[in-house]
Amino acid sequence: MSSNLPPVDEILKIREQIKALKAREAELKALIVSGEASTEGHFVRARLITRKSKRFDRQAAEVELGDLTRFLVETKVTILKLEAIKDDDFDLVE
């Protein structure tokens, strides 16, 4: 995809679109899960699957075992954080 926007501005635009799409997906999923919308479409069929999952309760482990920081493993992560150049509220041109 080519754009006349500088790459950081294009990333901002993409993130805004992703946020809007995720919100819409959540709305549609809620309709399907509640039974207000059909699980059948023209192109796909939705299956509702409920699974149990487990997570590590760090607070409970620390109560039982004490400080867990000796078990932490350091990793390197690169994060691309965008900051507005101006205080203006702006809309990027598509």
Q: pLDDT tens-digit profile of 17-47?
A: 999 999 999 999 999 999 999 999 999 999 9
Domain ranges of the chain: 7-71
Per-residue pLDDT, 41: 92
Per-residue pLDDT, 51: 92
Give the mean pLDDT of the chain: 89
Query: Mind spelling out the 3-state secondary structure of 45-62?
Result: ECCCCCCCCCCCCHHHHH
Residue 88 has pLDDT above 90, yes or no: no
Q: Is 13 exposed, middle or buried (0-12, 13-18, 19+ CB in 10 A)?
A: middle
